[in-house]
Amino acid sequence: MSDSLIWCTAHELSRRFARRSLSPVEVVREVLDRAGKLQPCLNFLVLLDNEGAKAAARASEERWRRGEPLSPLDGVPTSIKDTTTVKGWPTRYGSHATDESPAVEDAPVVSRLRQAGMVILGKTTTPEYGWKALTDSPLQGITRNPWNTDHSPGGSSGGAAAMTAAGVGPFNHGNDGGGSIRIPAAHTGLVGLKPSYGRIPQYPADSPFADVVSQGVLSRSVFDTALALNATAGPDARDWRSLPAEPRDYTIGLEEGVRGWRIGLSLDLGHVSADAEVRDLVVAAATRFDSLGAHVEEVGPLIEPLQNAFEPLWIGSFATRLRQIPTQLHGKLDPGFRAAAEKGLAITLADYAKAYEARSKLARDMALWHQTFDLLLAPVTPTAAPPVGTLYNSEAFPRWTKGAPYTLPFNLTGQPAASMPAGLTRSGLPVGLQIVGPARADHLVLRAMRAYESASGWTWPQPKVEETLARL
């Protein structure tokens, strides 16, 4: 597979399929080969369906030959995060507390990717129950960052991020309940949109975090992100919270720019301290919007510290999960997850209700703020990717100040929010710029993402994965 083909976007692959200068069978064969070579080093997969993927690619090739593709994404390879059900495959959540029983149906996001003709390669790694912004688990081990294998790709969609950043498919499925698309996108130099809550249906809603999780993808281009949203957005009767159908092609209007927009930049949200290098890169990235005709201004404190108000929702949800796990299996859980869950057993109904009141206030405050500002810019994370083996939610890496302080607020409010590459640290690790839009304004966030992406002279950096391959 040529280097140029490895880094092809889904849109580019589609155009080549239509011209018959490239076949889905060729692409899938090469992507499977690349996945097999990189898996021992990066550990991004928990399941690889070689024969199923090849069969799906042959079916796609025949549809393109007849001129009857199911969508522009027909024949493009992707994968599914292992917190999401795929019919016939187990859903392990990175945990010994689950079993290998096959799922009886596809989640809506999976069925829609299939309906678009995409080739599903397998399932990607996640921390246990998606609980943290790093990707390692008792069941599946450590997933590593293609930029530097001594570092984590972030989480919880770390397997999808590592695959995409390593050139194994143009985009891969993830989901985001506190930053789980945006954080790994930032740590691996990718494009990562958390759509508005409910834009893509969430089912089965068996997770305690179901009311903050958005489905999405980690990609290498904004246009691909829009194509994926076209394929997956829309209501599903099984998810009563899913948003009504929006008669919109998300690829249309991407080039309209941001001229005249008023954009707020907050480097701390009022309470977060980012590393100086992260701040500098985010400021430099934000100035691109000035050059595009928008007006960017730093804004004062927006959000009060999160821990006191929202920890009951977090650890209370973990406690709900813990109560579902047989006690004889508690010793096999990630110690950090278990500690947080056991602390959550003391959360009362009054604590929970108070946290929901605070959540309502935060959503209202942000809606009022957006009456003045079209967008909010901020860092995605306070630091670049932490080393593998970092103890999450420890004194060295607390969740509320280093893990997800910039991303979690916008899961609570349900707003669309994205990570875009802001550049590299001096040590060569990517940093992300977060772009946050008003509630349900996914099209405006995508438009801003595309304007930023197309800014003069800017190209996304790529990790030197071939050096990793050479060491294997």
Q: Which residues are catalytic?
A: 81, 156, 180
Closest CA to 227 of 197, 259, 250: 250
Q: Which two tokens stand for residue 442?
A: 């996914």
- CA–CA distances in Å: residue 17 to residues 73, 230, 306, 348, 459: 10, 19, 48, 56, 25
Q: Residue 262 is which amino acid?
A: R
User: DSSP character for 455?
Assistant: S
Alpha helices, DSSP H only, in 305-415? 307-323, 335-344, 349-369, 408-413
Q: 396-404: list long-range contacts, CB under 8 Å, 24+ apart.
A: 399/132, 399/133, 399/314, 400/305, 400/306, 400/307, 400/311, 401/272, 401/273, 403/132, 403/133, 403/179, 404/133, 404/178, 404/179, 404/183
Query: Do β-strands 430-436 and 417-424 pair in parallel, antiparallel, or remain unpaired?
Result: antiparallel
How many C-beta atoms surround the C-beta of residue 20 within 10 A?
11
3-state secondary structure (DSSP) of residue 439: coil
Which bin fits 461, alpha (ψ -120 to 50), beta or left (φ > 0)? Answer: beta
Please name the residues in contact with 111: beta carbons below 8 A apart, sequence gap of 6 or more. Answer: none
